Amino acid sequence: MGRRSRGTARSSVRVFAIEEVDEDLSGLDGPGPRSHGDVPDGASPVQGAAVGRVSQVGAGDEPRVGERPARRRWSRRARLLVGAGASVVALLAVGGVVRGEMNESARVERVVAAGGIRPLGPEVGVRWRIEPRSSGDDGSGWWLSPVVVDGTLVAPGSPAVGYDPTTGRELWRGAPRPASDTARVTTGCTGTGTWEAQEDPLVCTTFELRSVPTDGATFEQSLPVRIDVMVAATGELTGSRTFREGTQGAAVFDDGVASVRWGDGGHVVVDLEDLATGELRWSREIDEDRGSGPGEDYLGLQDGGSVLMVAVAGRLVTLDAQGRTVDEAEDSWTSPLRGGLAVVQHPDGASTVLDPDGAELFRTRGTVQEFAVTDGGPSRVFLVTEGGGLMDESGNIEPPRTTALDAATGRTRWSVDGVSAPVAQVGEVGILSEAGRLRGVDLGSGRRLWESSDLLAYSSAYTDGTDLYLVGTSAGGGTRITAVSVDSGQELWSSHLTDLFVWGASARGTLVVATDDGTLLGIG
């Protein structure tokens, strides 16, 4: 019997704890609930001779042998209290389930926003297929890859086309080609930010393709003729301009569009226009004569992060954001990191990590590497590998060693012998690759959690926040997808597709694969 609570001496009302209700009453046919043993002080016990039969005795009578005492009927108030308590328990249980579902949904969306994918199973297959288009460029734009910008899949070609990666449905189609019908053109697009999470605006550059003769051969040169600034989700055109005649290279740089050409005086001219308005910010002339031999007049342009790199006459000229020439001894380039950070790679092999405002967080020897695959959590560590293959004056070769640096301070957390490449960061687990053999470590201490027994060949990796998916070419020439547990390193399953994998990306949680013939596949 449960605990009983007494009332005050002056009151004839007795208050009972709800815990007294501890008996299954379904087998009793009396008018109300029954109980065993004691009754409130001063009350008359009501007893039953047997199950299903109730007899009453007067006050002071002794219970009959073999009969069980019956519980007094609950008051309306007690029934209300019990009902209210049950409702509260039910609400708490339902609320816990709802909160759990909300937390799980938020976790999945965080993983997807970081370039992850939704969970796959061993029955994985092709959900949608986009056949290669007849773009009119005779396949000459093979060097252009699809991109994912703000969750929209954008395929290059003439023109570029935006697709919904969840269904494979076409969302928009770019403007028609600007060149003549006899010219071969193609269009490639890019966004801003890191490759894993590119953002608006979508910048699409249309190139005219020309065959340029060199010594005993020819090569394909792509000359930019037009640039379109668009909204990735809708294809809405927010800005468009045509490059000047003779433009040989173009690149998105410092929220602008840089272009390079030969000027009238035979010198190199670099222009930077505002990406949104097309207004000319600056124009710089590089003192470099134009060559007369085959291919000697080639110009190239590349975004180096904080610098603009101009390829001219076989050498590299570096300009800063104001168009000033950077001394070759100070030449460096900048690459974006997640969380708004950036890393500057110096010619001496050192690296400087910058905060979102461009201030230095720390500087270290070696090349800073971050995990390309994450579950959306902040970066815990960066990896730096030093040594290996370098011989000192005594003829000794320093063995390579990989060090994990705290992502905020640059302080050493742990080190391991050998070359370890960062693969994925999921929670507090870091997955490293040592020549194709995966190893899971605790990011805080470097303690080895597991190591794969086999070499796993793959081209790209993805996570759903629980498992790791390795995608690459299978032995039979198709595509192989392997699921590996992040916690244990166990291979969970492996599936094969007949289409040949050449490129992969996550788009709004869907794994998108491009094949050797240009077909796009949605995997799920």
Distance CA 205, CA 207 (A): 6
Q: Where are the domains of the chain?
A: 345-454
CA 156 to chain centre: 23
Distance CA 369, CA 361 (A): 15
pLDDT at res. 45: 40
First and final C-alpha spacing in the chain: 57
pLDDT at res. 158: 80
Distance CA 89, CA 80 (A): 14
Distance CA 174, CA 484 (A): 40
**Across the beta sheet with 491-497, what order do the strands follow?**
460-463, 467-473, 479-485, 491-497
Q: Which two tokens stand for residue 287?
A: 């003192």
Distance CA 185, CA 216 (A): 25
pTM beyond 0.75, yes or no? no
β-strands 373-374, 381-386 pairing:
unpaired
Count of Cβ atoms closer than 10 Å to residue 521 Cβ: 22
pLDDT at res. 41: 40
The 10 Å CB-count burial string (b at 16+, else e) for 123-138 is ebebebebeeeebebe
pLDDT (tens place) for every residue of the chain, 524 residues total: 434 444 433 333 333 343 444 444 444 444 444 344 444 443 334 333 333 333 333 444 444 444 444 555 555 555 555 555 555 555 555 555 555 556 778 888 899 988 999 999 999 999 999 998 754 444 445 567 899 999 999 998 888 899 999 999 999 998 766 555 556 888 889 988 776 678 899 999 998 887 766 666 777 778 899 999 999 999 999 988 899 988 999 998 888 999 999 988 778 999 999 988 889 999 999 887 666 655 567 888 888 777 888 988 777 888 888 998 876 545 677 888 888 898 988 888 899 999 988 899 999 999 999 998 999 999 999 999 987 666 666 777 778 899 999 999 999 999 999 899 999 999 999 999 988 899 999 999 999 999 998 888 899 999 999 999 999 998 888 999 999 999 999 999 999 999 999 889 999 999 999 998 889 999 99
pLDDT at res. 220: 73
Query: 61 forms bridges with which residues in the sheet?
Result: none
| Neighbouring residues of 21: CB distance < 8 A, sequence distance ≥ 6 | 2, 33, 74, 82
Q: Which amino acid is at 199?
A: E
Question: Which CATH class for the 345-454 domain?
Answer: mainly beta
pLDDT at res. 99: 57
**Across the beta sheet with 501-507, what order do the strands follow?**
126-130, 520-523, 510-515, 501-507
pLDDT at res. 471: 95
